[in-house]
Amino acid sequence: MHKTIAILPGDGIGPEIMRQAVKVLDAIAAKYSHEFEYRYADVGACAIDKTGNPYPEETHEICTKSDSVLFGAIGDPKYDNDPAAKVRPEQGLLAMRKALGLFANIRPVKPYPSLLSASPLKDSIVDGADFIVVRELTGGMYFGEPRGRNEAGNKAFDTCVYSKEEIERVADVAFAYASRRRGHVTLVDKANVLATSRLWRETVKALHERKYGDMRLDFLFVDNAAMKMVSNPRDFDVILTENMFGDILSDLAGVINGSIGLLPSASSGLERSLYEPIHGSYPQAAGKDIANPVATILSAAMMLEDAFGAAEEGADIRLACEKAIADGVCTPDIFPGSKYGTEATGDYIVKIIGNL
């Protein structure tokens, strides 16, 4: 197959983890005689530095003209510590999600058997956990209007807004995943307090009755869901939730896997999807060759499987990552004191793919 892939390394550790994912894609292309044409573009702080815009028009065009998009990370401390900054790198990510219509973010969580001890949670809790978080990605408090400050500047407000249509389309995605898994969707909300959450509950309940009666739907308040996630994670199959709750819960889910550096994600769009690790730009590690490339490499695997229908190729990458970890080859976040850095981990995974 011939595919064009927009490559958006972004900030911090983005470029170095992305290099590993591209190496892995090259290994897959060589093995299966595919052609992957990469189109590099800037997003985030690096784009602000060059153009003043965190999601330049040129980047958007490259994304819309490619078959899929692989994205690294965004964010730079020089903006985090400057609340007065007019443009922020994160605006680039949000603008990109909105412009590409990426309304559903899928974050799978399944600990590696050989890595159970890397989680700060007891083995008996994380063993057998296997769930996905389906996070709504283009609505809620991240985008709701009005937002900002009053004139005096001493009050600030954000608005959480959801429409029935926005809820239904992401719920459809959650039920579609559940139908290929254990058929169980848990809607996480705060319906005891928030009007938007009550609309979520009402809408998802009606949709379930109308279209998905053969599956199990239950409801949890977000505070309770957070507690369950780290005490009984096996209770979950598909977690469906709104943007902000999904952001928070999916970082928490990283604890189950042992490192957030292992978790990939897919953001499904109206026309094309984007694949990205769930972690951020980890600026303290940038350029030090210690960042874990596995989340980005697994994001590339999700892209091959979901966007290109290349199941065997995706399975190769997953197997290679699993083998590398079982062999003790990965970065210090999961193997403290490891002599394998970002590059060496990527090289090892490439070597395994060649030998599969």
From ligand IPM, Mn ion, none, which one binds at residue 74 (CB under 5 to 8 Å depending on kind)? ligand IPM
Tokens of 53: 């815009």
Q: Which of 247, 305, 313, 333 binds ligand IPM (CB under 6 A)?
A: 247
Residue 171 CB, shortest distance to ligand IPM, in Å, is 19
Q: State the burial class of residue 248 (Cβ atoms within 10 Å of its Cβ: 0-12, 13-18, 19+).
A: middle
Structure token pair of residue 316: 């190769």
Q: Pick between residue 16 and residue 276 the one whose CB is nearest to ligand IPM.
A: 276
The reply to whether 251 belongs to the active site is yes
- Name the residues that contact Mn ion, by CB under 5 A: 247
> Kind and range of the H or E element at 72?
strand 68-73
CB 96 within 8 A of CB 43: yes
36 DSSP β-pair partners? 3
Q: Which is nearer to ligand IPM, 6 or 263 (CB)?
A: 263
Cα–Cα separations (whole angstroms), residue 16 to 138, 194, 257, 316: 28, 41, 22, 22
Question: Catalytic annotation on 190?
Answer: yes
Secondary element (H or E) of residue 239: strand 238-241
DSSP per position, 18-42:
HHHHHHHHHHHHHHHT-EEEEEE--
347 is catalytic: no
Q: Which of 22, 27, 74, 307 binds ligand IPM (CB under 6 A)?
A: 74
d(C-alpha 343, C-alpha 334), whole Å: 16
Residue from 247, 282, 316, 340 carrying the catalytic annotation: 247
**Minimum distance from CB of 153 to ligand IPM (Å)?**
24
In the set 142, 162, 177, 212, the catalytic residue is: 142
Of 16, 90, 136, 305, the one binding ligand IPM (CB under 6 A) is 90
Nearer to ligand IPM among residue 237 and residue 247 (C-beta)? 247
Name the residues that contact ligand IPM, by CB under 6 A: 74-75, 90, 93, 247, 278, 280
Residues with catalytic roles: 142, 190, 223, 247, 251
